A and B are shown apart, each in its own frame.
Chain A
Amino acid sequence: MATAIFNSRRISQATAFTFLGLATAITVLPVLFIIIYTITEGSGAINWEFLTQFPSQAGRAGGILPAIIGTFYLMLGTLLFALPIGVLAGIYLTEYARDNWLTRLINLAIANLAGVPSIVFGLFGLSVFVLAFNFGLSLLAASLTLAAQALAMVITTSREAILAVPREYREGSLAIGVTKWQTVRHIVLPQALPGIITGSVLAISRAAGETAPILVTGAAFVLPRLPQSPFDQFMALPYHLYTVAAHVPNMPREMMWGAALVLLVVVLSFDSLAAAIRIKTRQRR
């Protein structure tokens, strides 16, 4: 009798662990598969010419240089707009805004902003930045659109990083007659900076992989030259991938996966940068 109970408990435990492990494996395997598949299919295409040449024959030959450069410009533009606005809004919402229904509504709106489909951001960018502000189909309009989308994440992570600064530090500063703003500037922000940077880098790397928002705000399939100003159209890796995969017949598989591999490396290297910042600052404490 006692042995039977013992056994049934053992069995239920083993069953539970099996399913938990299985669920984890199901999550991890596709990621591994994607990475390994992209590397095996695409690495053959990676060579100096592929990284430094313009595409020819609608992407079937040549390289993807303008798409790489365009993606970096986009990331830079997104960073330029999303980081300062997001951090400042994060500071305001955590340090200055009173805890009332309006603030809660704003926080709710920001949380929901992250869930808005990216094509909706694209249409927003099209009607506001491209048309209303008359920026045209351009790097500027696309950067602003991506920044609008990244903003939610920058604000959320900034708020979390600022809230994580111990109350004792603020009190210690305020208690010797230092003003609120000086306290934010000299105590809170330096402490919160690693968290803010980590979150922002992740937001930017996510923006780098977006296709829908740039599709309607300025990305071009083939351009004869690199963008010369923020008002020029541009090429970008995700949009290039979308077009060669969906619209170019007889596209060499290797070159398609090669472009995917480059995009993956760009995004993952940014994510690792964020992780490195986090680990480094954790060690310092």
Chain B
Amino acid sequence: MSINLNVQSVSAKPVEKCSTKLRTEHVDLYYGSFQALRNVTLDVLSCAITAIIGPSGCGKSSLLRLFNRMNDLIPGARVKGNVELDGTPIYDSRIDVAELRKRVGMVFQKPNPFPMSVFENVAYGPRRHGVKNRAQLEEIVERSLRQAALWEEVKDKLGQSALALSGGQQQRLCIARVLAVEPEVILMDEPCSALDPIATLKIEDLMRGLSQDYTIIIVTHNMQQAARVSDIAAFMMMEPDRAGVLVEYGPTAQIFTNPKDRRTEDYITGRFG
């Protein structure tokens, strides 16, 4: 679905910074013989937070995992059509998937800090990407934790196990872990669904701050969250054979107040789903 919107109306940022960061063209995704996505076409803008919404099982996470090729981990997963990052097809056989995922990081539904110290969790990515210098690592860790609004809470317990942190802190730690490898895009798969409302608000504030520098795509079940946090929304649904399709795509304000598609309106107003 080509995006036809006045960017200035959805984002405070200047238009010239805004460009198509990710693009899918007529993408079909299969898990074995099951079709999970059908003919999905959309442009994701670099300057915005894009929310993917829709009922359970409609392929939101599958669409999200298309962008960093996490679907590759599922045996039997096949992609047809084109997915591009900055105009480069990412399903090309010459693409280094690790390099792609460094640029397109991901935060998961359930906070998944590694069973190591807070410091080591954040330093993990940079270390694997070749940073050995201790001072440099310390600098990256502090910067990433500050960016993730976690530094003040953990600066005195960097050596403690990350598993001792609260759920909300763990999720921000996972965001810091992603930020530490300096990605361009951050994919968030229902990042607040395991968190309480206060921790959720902190993550949402954090996302707003990060959207200045990163392209963010969030999958959420929570309509209010999509309305609060996103600039652009993609509404998905399941077809009768359970394949996910993109129903409507546009500025969040428009999707929520003046949806063009009847199905979107039904879902938004809570008539089903």
B124 interface hit (Cβ, 8 Å): yes
B103 interface hit (Cβ, 8 Å): yes
Given contacts A168-B110, A169-B114, A171-B112, contact A177 B124 (CB under 8 A): no
A118 interface hit (Cβ, 8 Å): no
0/1 string, B5-44, CB within 8 A of A gives 1: 0000000000000000000000000000000000000000
- The answer for the CA separation of A138 and B184 in the assembled complex, in Å, is 61
List the B side residues contacting A168 at CB < 8 Å: 108, 110, 112
B181 to A172, Cβ gap below 8 A? no
List the A side residues contacting B102 at CB < 8 Å: 176-177
Residue of A176, A178, A191 with most chain B CB atoms under a 10 A cut-off? A176
A285 to B129, Cβ gap below 8 A? no
B106 interface hit (Cβ, 8 Å): yes
List the B side residues contacting A177 at CB < 8 Å: 98-103, 105, 125, 128-129, 181
A169 to B112, Cβ gap below 8 A? yes
Q: Which of A179-187, A226-234, A261-269, A270-278 contacts B (4 or more CB under 8 A)?
A: A179-187
Residue of chain A at shortest CB distance from B106: A175
List the B side residues contacting A175 at CB < 8 Å: 68, 70, 101, 105-106, 108, 178
Given contacts A172-B112, A177-B101, A177-B181, contact A99 B75 (CB under 8 A): yes
- The answer for the CA separation of A168 and B102 in the assembled complex, in Å, is 17
- The answer for the CA separation of A84 and B114 in the assembled complex, in Å, is 26
A182 to B108, Cβ gap below 8 A? no
A174 interface hit (Cβ, 8 Å): yes
Task: Give the Cβ gap from A10 to chain B, nearest Cβ, in Å.
Answer: 47
Task: Give the Cβ gap from A97 to chain B, nearest Cβ, in Å.
Answer: 12
- The answer for the CA separation of A178 and B128 in the assembled complex, in Å, is 6
B73 to A171, Cβ gap below 8 A? yes
Task: Give the Cβ gap from B18 to chain A, nearest Cβ, in Å.
Answer: 25
Residue of chain B at shortest CB distance from A100: B75
List the B side residues contacting A178 at CB < 8 Å: 98, 124-125, 128-129
A173 interface hit (Cβ, 8 Å): yes
Task: Give the Cβ gap from B154 to chain A, nearest Cβ, in Å.
Answer: 18
Q: How large is the interface on A (under 10, 10 to 19, 20 to 34, 35 or more residues)?
A: 10 to 19
- The answer for the CA separation of A187 and B129 in the assembled complex, in Å, is 15
Interface residues of A in 158-215 (CB under 8 A from B): 166, 168-169, 171-179, 182, 186-187, 191
0/1 string, B108-127, CB within 8 A of A gives 1: 10101111000000001100
Residue of chain B at shortest CB distance from A178: B128
Task: Give the Cβ gap from B74 to chain A, nearest Cβ, in Å.
Answer: 11
Residue of chain B at shortest CB distance from A187: B114
Task: Give the Cβ gap from B5 to chain A, nearest Cβ, in Å.
Answer: 29
List the B side residues contacting A171 at CB < 8 Å: 70, 73, 106, 108, 112
B60 interface hit (Cβ, 8 Å): no
- The answer for the CA separation of A166 and B124 in the assembled complex, in Å, is 17
B128 to A186, Cβ gap below 8 A? yes
List the B side residues contacting A186 at CB < 8 Å: 124, 128
Residue of chain A at shortest CB distance from B75: A99
Which of A98, A172, A174, A182 contacts B114, CB < 8 Å?
A: A172
- The answer for the CA separation of A179 and B97 in the assembled complex, in Å, is 8
Task: Give the Cβ gap from B99 to chain A, nearest Cβ, in Å.
Answer: 6
Which of A98, A166, A176, A187 contacts B101, CB < 8 Å?
A: A176
List the A side residues contacting B110 at CB < 8 Å: 168
B177 interface hit (Cβ, 8 Å): yes
Task: Give the Cβ gap from B249 to chain A, nearest Cβ, in Å.
Answer: 25
- The answer for the CA separation of A166 and B112 in the assembled complex, in Å, is 9
A179 to B98, Cβ gap below 8 A? yes
B174 interface hit (Cβ, 8 Å): yes
- The answer for the CA separation of A166 and B101 in the assembled complex, in Å, is 20
- The answer for the CA separation of A171 and B70 in the assembled complex, in Å, is 8
Residue of A173, A177, A178, A186 with most chain B CB atoms under a 10 A cut-off? A177
Which of B73, B113, B115, B181 contacts A176, CB < 8 Å?
A: B181
Residue of A175, A179, A191, A285 with most chain B CB atoms under a 10 A cut-off? A175
A174 to B73, Cβ gap below 8 A? yes
- The answer for the CA separation of A175 and B99 in the assembled complex, in Å, is 10
List the A side residues contacting B106 at CB < 8 Å: 171, 175-176
Given contacts A177-B102, A177-B181, contact A182 B128 (CB under 8 A): yes
| 27 sample A-B contacts, Cβ–Cβ < 8 Å, listed by A number | A168-B108, A168-B112, A169-B114, A169-B115, A171-B73, A171-B106, A171-B112, A172-B112, A172-B174, A173-B114, A173-B124, A174-B98, A175-B70, A176-B105, A176-B106, A176-B178, A177-B99, A177-B100, A177-B101, A177-B103, A177-B129, A178-B98, A178-B124, A178-B128, A178-B129, A182-B128, A191-B115
Which of A's residues lie within 8 Å of B, judged by CB?
A: 98-99, 166, 168-169, 171-179, 182, 186-187, 191, 285
Q: A168-B108, A177-B99 are in contact. List 19 more A-B contacts (CB 8 A).
A: A166-B112, A169-B114, A171-B73, A171-B106, A171-B108, A172-B112, A172-B177, A173-B114, A173-B128, A174-B98, A174-B101, A175-B108, A176-B106, A176-B180, A177-B102, A178-B98, A178-B128, A191-B115, A285-B115
**Which are the 7 A-B pairs with shortest beta-carbon distances?**
A177-B102, A168-B112, A175-B106, A177-B101, A176-B125, A172-B112, A178-B128
